[in-house]
């Protein structure tokens, strides 16, 4: 059974870089029919897609975050990672990693989600 687990610091200082890793177990991250992505949810707010990556390294990002976001994949560790630079309090959220079905990004939907990890931006 596929499982996704987020890990990383729960507290990040303003202007620093938020770094999270998602470990995939139960399937290979190199499966050709899937993207892997990050979604976030600020307190008491809705879902926001951050970006997605294919096992080959192809990425696409939310236009509102693209200047600050980098998503990478490590197929040898079956992991993918998120880096969000120059964070502010507005980046405080629960961050979820997900598997997105579909090798074509316009057909992507999220069929498996991690439990989420809370990241607070504060000095």
Contact positions toward another protein, by CB under 8 A? 37, 39, 46-49, 52, 60-63, 96, 100-101, 105-111, 113-116
The beta strand positions in the chain, using DSSP E, are 3-7, 11-12, 18-25, 34-41, 48-54, 59-61, 69-74, 79-84, 93-101, 109-113, 117-121
- Measured distance CA(64)–CA(37) in Å, rounded: 16
Nearest distance from residue 64's CB to another protein, in Å? 9
Select 16 or 23, whichever has its Cβ closest to another protein.
23
CB of 61 to another protein, least distance (A): 7
Q: How far is the CB of 98 from another protein (least distance, A)?
A: 9
Nearer to another protein, 34 or 37 (CB): 37
Cα 10 to Cα 95: distance, rounded to the nearest angstrom: 10
Of residues 14 and 47, the one with the C-beta less far from another protein:
47
Structure tokens at 103: 């090798």
Query: Radius of gyration of the chain from Cα atoms?
Result: 14
Of the pair 15, 47, the CB lying nearest another protein is at 47
């Amino acid at each position: 059974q596929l499982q996704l687990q987020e890990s990383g610091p729960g507290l990040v200082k303003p202007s620093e870089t938020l770094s999270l890793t998602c470990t995939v177990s139960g399937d290979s991250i190199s499966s050709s029919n899937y993207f892997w992505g990050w979604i976030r949810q600020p307190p008491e707010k809705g879902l926001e897609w951050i970006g997605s990556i294919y096992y080959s390294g192809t990425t696409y990002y939310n236009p509102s975050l693209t200047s600050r976001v980098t998503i990478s994949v490590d197929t040898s560790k079956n992991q993918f990672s998120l880096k969000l630079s120059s964070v502010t309090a507005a980046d405080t959220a629960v961050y979820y990693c997900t598997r997105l079905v579909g090798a074509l990004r316009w057909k992507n939907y999220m069929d498996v989600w991690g439990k989420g990890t809370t990241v607070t931006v504060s000095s």
